[in-house]
Structure 1
Amino acid sequence: MTQNPIAPRLTRDESRGVTIERLKTAALGEFVRVGFAGASVDRICETAGYSRGAFYANYKTKQDLLLDLLNDYNTDEIANWHSTIGRARDMDSIYADMAARFERYVSKADWGVFAVEMMLQARRNADFAVTYQAYQEKIMDDVARALSLMFDKAGRRPPAPVAGLATALRSYATGLSLEYSLHSAHRDPKAASTLLTLFLRGLVAQGTAVATSRTGS
């Protein structure tokens, strides 16, 4: 009789990683559902399947957990933008890849609402506002660098300062994420990604073509 293999035991660090990820997933749903102020550590723990002890073994407060989620939010996605643009063969492959990524992003409806909740918490809490502003500045710098890479790849100069274009892009993407995740009549991530691609194509089209230098005798 064939016995099923016994799954290897997780190491201490692996077990802690699983605990943290489950707490973060539960907290994201809790923050989106009732906001930061209404969020309950007990409900987060209950949803994650842990005791309060597991929570406080990893976080001191709800805000520490919010900051951990903040660190997750968009950081990996923007890093992937840089990688995608850097290795792309042409602009069409950039647009296709970014559309696919945004489609997956919009499908995770909670992140759009979470973005708004973070903004509200920053308005209400001066200590969190300092951390949030530092995060925003880093993210906007990363988005601006990604846009600069995209214009370089297209051989065009941006039609406006990339810092302003980065702000417009992020605002538009957040708005699309909310619109296409909250309204039942609009729950079509593919439609949202198509609109984002049109936005990006429009930005690039408005840029000025960079003249190529010619050498010769």
Structure 2
Amino acid sequence: MSDVATTRERGREEAHQVSARRAATRERLSDAAVRVFARKGVDGATVEEICEEADFTRGAFYSNFGSKNELCIDVLQRSLDRAFEALTVELPKASATELPMDEKLNLAIELTSRTISGDPDTVLAISEIRLQAARDPALRPAYRALNESATPALRELVVEVMEANDVHIDIPVDDLLGIMRTLYDQQMIEALISGAPDKAGAVSSQMATLLKALMRG
């Protein structure tokens, strides 16, 4: 291998290492933000507190995020990615069973709810970010864009599972997704308030009831 090729290869390896370190730093800052947002809300959380929680300096924060709002979007993106990954695994798994439709539906919702329910800090942090988007006009465009970008892939997955099981509903799929998300978010908060030991179970039973009421086929 020539000296030039060796130098290029070394450069690629170093760039990969830097990229991996940067990704790890962003993840630690995002995880720290979840904990701080859950305790203090977005407005009440300072960059300094988030950095202290992550054991990083302000320099590390600003080399990865331009603002606290940008960090909020990163937290949401990670949450959406985890939820979609869970859905792509659990929905087809339940769909492939030989159970009666009612039981299949219950299984799909229970598996999904338990996988994406998250810890209390995550539930609270996501709710706080949503409230912040309602309060702060500067956060709204990115918040809306992120939610809108996630809808097509989720719609496609749900439609695919419904068609595979010859299931039809009386409302547009996008409306169904919006209603289910609203119910899920609200009931997860209520489960935290009530201290319900099985938060995902309480939420999934209500979601199953709603879906059965909307189904035909």
Which structure carries more helix by proportion? 2
Q: Is the CA contact (8 Å cut-off) linking 2:37 and 2:125 kept in structure 1?
A: yes
Q: What letter corresponds to residue 157 of structure 1 in structure 2?
A: H
What is the distance in 2 between the residues matched to 1:194 and 1:50? 42
Aligned mates of 2:164, 2:106 — CA distance in 1? 12
Aligned to 2:13: none
Residue number among 96, 103, 115 corresponding to 1:89 in the alignment: 96
Name the structure 2 match of 1:55.
61
Between the aligned partners of 1:82 and 1:199, the Cα distance in structure 2 is 21
Q: 1:69: how far off?
A: 0.9
Q: Which residue of 2 aligns with 1:134?
A: 145
In the alignment, structure 1 segments of 5+ residues that lack a partner are 1-9, 210-217
Q: Does 1:109 align with 2:120?
A: yes
Which runs of 5 or more structure 2 residues have no equivalent in the other structure? 1-15
Match of 1:199 in 2: 210
| 1:89 positional shift | 1.2
* Mapped partners of 1:156, 1:101: distance in 2: 18
Residues 95, 149 of structure 1: CA spacing in aligned structure 2 closer, same or farther, 3 A cutoff?
farther
Match of 1:30 in 2: 36
- Provide, for residues 49-69 of structure 1, a one-character-per-residue CA deviation record: whole Å limited to 9, x for no partner: 112222122112111111111
Instruction: Give how far 1:15 is off.
Output: 2.8
Aligned match of 2:191 in 180, 199, 214?
180
Tell me which of 67, 73, 77 is aligned to 1:67: 73
Shift of 1:85: 3.4
RMSD (Å), alpha carbons: 2.5
Q: Report whether the alignment pairs 1:16 with 2:27.
A: no
Q: d(CA) in 2 for partners of 1:134 and 1:107? A: 23
Determine helix, strand or coil for the equivalent of 2:139. helix
The residue number in structure 1 matching 2:170 is 159
Mean alpha-carbon deviation: is it higher for 94-103 or for 33-42? 94-103
Partners of 1:53 and 1:156 in 2: how far apart?
Answer: 53
Measure how far apart 1:130 and its partner are: 1.1
TM-score by length of 1: 0.77
- Which amino acid counterpart does residue 96 of structure 2 have in structure 1? R
Q: Does 1:144 align with 2:149?
A: no
**Distance (whole Å) between structure 1 residues aligned to residue 142 and residue 210 of structure 2:** 30
Q: Name the residue aligned to 2:3.
A: none
Cα shift readout 1:68-107 (whole Å, capped 9, x = no counterpart): 1121122331243244434541355564254133124334
Change (3 A) 1:107 1:69: closer
Identity of aligned residues (%): 24
Most deviating of 114-123 and 126-135? 114-123
Greater alpha carbon shift after TM alignment, 142-151 vs 121-130: 142-151
Query: Does the CA contact (< 8 Å) of 1:122 and 1:128 recur in 2?
Result: yes
Q: For each residue in 1:140-181, what CA deviation from the matched residue of structure 2 results, as whole angstroms up to 9, or x when unmatched? A: 444433332232122122221212111111111111211123
Please tell me the residue identity of whatever aligns with 1:135.
L
